[in-house]
A and B are shown apart, each in its own frame.
Chain A
Amino acid sequence: MARDRAARRARWRSAAVCLALVAGVGATVATTPPLEKCPNPPDVGEVSEFYGPQEYDQWWGRSTTPAAFVGGGFEVRDASVSGETCVTADDPSVEVRVYLEMAGEQVPAVPEETLRTLTISDGAGRVWAPSGASSGAWEPPASEGADPYAAYAHISFLLPADVAGPVTLHLGELSGPTVDELSLDPPAPSPSAS
Chain B
Amino acid sequence: MSPTARGSVVRGELVLHPVALVALALLLLNDHVLKAVAPGWVTGKLSDVAGLAFFPFLLLALRDVLGRRRPTRRAAVGAAVLTGAAFATIKLWAGARDLWSDAMALLRFPADAVVAGAGSPVPLVVHPDPTDVPAVVACAAVVVVLWRRAAADRARDPGTTADEATPTALTPPASTRPSRAG
- Which residue numbers of A lie inside 8 Å of B, CB to CB? 2-3, 5-7, 9-10, 13-14, 16-17, 20-21, 23-25, 27-35, 56, 58
Contacts and interface: CB of A to CB of B under 8 A. Distances in A.
Interface of B: 4-8, 10-13, 15-16, 20-21, 24, 27-28, 31, 47, 51, 54-55, 57-58, 61-62, 65, 100-101, 104-105, 107-108, 112, 122-126
A21 B124 contact: no
A5 B20 CA distance: 26
Contacts of A27: 24, 27-28, 31, 51, 54
The 7 A-B residue pairs whose C-beta atoms are closest, nearest first, are A6-B6, A10-B8, A17-B12, A34-B122, A13-B10, A24-B58, A20-B15
A10 B11 CA distance: 10
Interface of B is mostly: helix
Contacts of A30: 31, 108
Nearest to B12: A17
B5 A9 contact: yes
A21 B31 contact: no
A131 B61 CA distance: 57
Nearest to B106: A29
A21 B12 contact: yes
Nearest to B121: A34
A21 B5 contact: no
B58 A28 contact: yes
20 contacts: A6-B5, A9-B5, A13-B4, A13-B10, A13-B16, A17-B10, A17-B16, A17-B61, A20-B61, A24-B57, A27-B24, A27-B28, A32-B100, A32-B126, A33-B124, A34-B122, A34-B125, A35-B123, A56-B122, A58-B125
